[in-house]
Structure formats: C-alpha cells, structure tokens
Amino acid sequence: MSILIDENTQLLVQGITGREGLFHTSQMLAYGTRVVAGVTPGKGGEWVLDGKVPVFDTVQIAVEATGANCSVSFVPARFAADAMLEASAASVELIVCITEGIPVQDMMRVRRALDLQGTRLVGPNCPGLLSPGASKVGIIPGHIAKRGKIGIVSRSGTLTYEVLYSLTASGMGTSTCVGIGGDPVNGTSFVDVLSMFEEDPHTDKVVLIGEIGGTDEEKAAAFISDQMTKPVVGFIAGRTAPPGKRMGHAGAIVEGGTGLASEKIRVLQSAGVRIADHPEQIPELLQ
C-alpha cells in the first residue's frame, strides 16, 4: 500500500497542454495513473494524447465533470501560485507542484490560503510522488522502483532517483516515495511525511534524504527521537558546500552558522538515525 496516492487517485493535470505537462502526462498514463482531466484556460473542450484526456478551462469545471481529487501542476512560475489557489478553491484534496522558481512571497500567500482551506500541498520545486505499482504523480521515473515496505522522503530530486535505483538493485522495494522539494517555503515537511509513514502499516523502514540549509532536518530529528518507532536511515547532501553559497535549491543555503550538514548529521545520529556516507550505502544500512 502507500500514503498520499494509490491506484484510486484521480489526477488532474494543470498546464497539460504545455511541453512539460504533455510529456509527463503521457508518462503518468503509461505507468497506470488514473489521469482523468487536464486544465489549460482557453483550451476547454479539446482532448490530448489521442483522445485519452479531456481538457477543461478551469479546475472547478474539471472536478465537477470528472471527480478529480488530486492535481499536479506544471504551470510556469509566474502563474503557479494562482494555479495552486484555484485547485484549492475547487476542493482538490492534494496538490503536487512541480514548478520551480516560484517567488517566496507567492508561496507565503499560497501556504497561508491552503492551510486555511485544509489542502495538502507537496512541493513546489519537487519531483512529486511515486507509489510503485499503483500511481505516479510527477516526474519520478517509475521503472527504477518496485513495490515494497521502505518509505522515502527527500528534499532532492536527483538523489531521490539514485536512492530508488540503489534500493531496487539491492532487491528492496518502496511503499511510497515523497519528494517534498527544496524551496524555503513548501507545503509538506519531513515531519508531516514521517508521521504518515509511522502510521502506515505497510511501511517498515524509512529513508530520509536531506541537504544543507534551513532547519527541517533538525525538526525531523526531534520527531524521530520522540515519536517514531520505525528505523530511519538518512543521507545529508552538501557536506563540502562553501558557507553562504546557494547549492541547487533555493532553501539549500548555509548562513549565520545554521543549516550546516555537520549539525544536521549530528542531531539525526543523536536521534538514532544511521547516516550514509553516500547514497549507494543506504541499502546496506537498511539491512
């Protein structure tokens, strides 16, 4: 089984007629995801991908027509905030935002509105979700993972793929992989996902992939120490990053002595997390 998405998830794709939206919609369909609708203002009434997916002008109309309960957004950064707000206003339960480069002020506004609405957001600037054998929402390659009982939560897209591939090559499977994104303001935190994995009877162990910047890993360590009963293995990227430089993600910046990889590793180890020196070591630590 899985958390957040499964074979019953009915997906709506915002920005479906754009290059990225169309390509990844075809990949999600091929994986078996139930893509029931797409939204592009002004293109309502069209069909894409050989007539497999109908396109609507608004999320509200798409939800009313198809019963979609999850949205994935490939909308460009300057329109992404409004797209998320539109999906939330249409009572979409789960929004996954792949878009990168969204201004922090826009995300502060979105996060406040979605919290009031009670909408779950994963992202932005994330690879999305993968429930092997059941559903794929986003851009995580489905063929590198197989179904199993290891949950993965990560701030890094590329490292997520590395770890998934390493687990599969070692004969291990995944319950759900959650890419929460590396922006300073996002919708779902490490603690949120760790809590879901702790409650999920089909997840036995958890992999946490963090990076420099912010304090999310420190908060995760406190949660693991106080509330988690399942073993956690971790990896922290950016050990050699120079202070004051942003490394990849908008949230991956060390300043004022906070956000250091060494400090994150220390607190996670103090919470009982086994820390890998490199991603390929994670399967060994899980065994």
- The per-residue pLDDT for 256 is 46
CA distance 75 to 26: 16
pLDDT digits (tens, 9 = 90+) for 98-116: 999 999 999 999 999 999 9
Residue ranges of the chain whose pLDDT lies below 50 = 252, 254-256
Domain boundaries, the chain: 10-122, 140-286
CATH for the 10-122 domain, from 3.60.15.10, 3.40.50.720, 3.20.20.70, 3.30.565.10: 3.40.50.720
- The per-residue pLDDT for 257 is 52
Enter the pTM of the model. 0.94
User: E-strand spans in the chain?
Assistant: 10-14, 34-39, 47-48, 53-56, 70-73, 94-97, 120-122, 128-131, 135-138, 147-154, 174-179, 205-211, 232-237, 274-275
Q: Which residue has the tokens 């293995």?
A: 233
Cα-flanking dihedrals φ and ψ of residue 233, to 5°? -115, 140
CATH 3.40.50.261 fits 140-286, yes or no: yes
Catalytic annotation, residues: 249
- The per-residue pLDDT for 259 is 78
